[in-house]
Structure 1
Amino acid sequence: MDRETNALPGTRRLKVWDPWIRMVHWLIVLLIPFSWWTAETHRFDLHLWSGYTLLTLLVFRIAWGFVGSHTARFRSFLASPLEGLRHLGHFRRRQAAIEIGHNAAGGWMVLVMLGLLLAQAGSGLFADDEIFTRGPLARAVDTSTSALATSIHLRVFWVIVGVAVLHILAILAYRLVRKQNLVGPMITGALRLPVAYRGPVPRMGSNWLAAVLLALAAVAVWALVQWGQAQGSASAFG
């Protein structure tokens, strides 16, 4: 638990989100519009690097979901779909239970967004628009597979935008209906709770482990890109 600094009478701060989860969250928030802008303005070198960065963050996030902080682990927030629906059914209740980390519905939103972002970044590796640029693995597959990846890459982006808008609307609804601030804790890492709270205290993951995992994710993506480019060069001269 972090040091308690009471800004409101009768409350204390509880650390619920580690800096690695917050870093991934806000970088993805920035990378989505940045990727769109680089594609629209034909800055495809930057577009590729944005995709590589996004893929690195996703690989790290998935690994951190198994060995990271308690609130980051999939097993701590992935409930059954029925539980998620039950949570939404009780949404209008003002006196909501204290939720540490993602709730049952929010956990599924995280899983859906991770899946869509993986589909977007992964398909980009194989995409080839035959005009401006191609992904580093485009020449490692046949043209029909590359064309399918290109189609997925173009269409999934707008699904991601739709889900992101839904996510923002949900945040506003929680703020207006349930009086819960979901953005603040993702910025500061801490949730303000009553002093009398005696519930679970999330265990934070190792910063050293997180740094190693992030470095390994970056190396893995870099190696994949280099391999793809080497395959493309070999096929071009073959």
Structure 2
Amino acid sequence: MVAPGTVVYALGTVAMLVGVAVVVHLLGNDDLDAGAGRFRLLLAIPAFAALSYAAMAAGIGQFSVGGYTVDTMRYVDWFVTTPVLVAYVGHVVDVDRRWLVGAAGADAVMIAAGWVATTTTGVTRWTGFAVSCVAFLALLYVLFRVFPRKAQTDTPERRRLFFRLRNQIGILWMLYPVIWLASPVGFGLVSTLGTAMLVTFMDVAAKVPYTWVVYEHRGIFGRTDAAATGTDGENGDVRPVGDDGPAPVAD
């Protein structure tokens, strides 16, 4: 009999392959400025996730801590793919590379500390959870405060894509600490299977629509006229994203 968790991870694999198909279709558009859009970076997100879910469905990298099954490949997946998700948000509006690396670094610390929290017990577990939450708060600050101020491109199309991607991951990820606390490694309010279902759904919701949203805005990169580059008049000044009014919300 096939274990329920195996079915959940198999469905996650199929869903991530849909994301792969979207990016491959995006890369097939020869008229797009793929260099400016860095679309090939996006392929790593669903492709690596699909491999990870396939490995989890096969039981690869699983071990038990205090009666709870830990999926090593899930954290490997997150450590590789989530920094790309975060950095690409800043790339959309040409944030300086220093801040892209900083955001990706905060994300990596969040995932690493989450791994410690999930694979240990006692004081170490809760210390890891606290460190992960602090890193997450730092990441949210960069996404919602620093990136808009440091944006070097402010076209309406880029602004729209920036806000949609940022809100999609930033707001959705706020549920992860809640799920962790409710899981067997936290207060045990949700079963191991229930946790696997919730996390898989969240993971797919963060990654597959992300690639589709970029596909919808595929023509916004590589423009050179003043209106498309976000310059203001003859001075060529670039307005920071969000300084002229309230930030748009995700569709």
TM range, normalised to the smaller chain?
Answer: 0.3 to 0.5
Higher relative contact order (CA 8 A, sep 6+): 1
Q: Answer with 1 or 2: which has the greater Rg.
A: 1
Question: TM-score normalised to the size of structure 1?
Answer: 0.39
Q: TM-score, normalised by structure 2?
A: 0.38
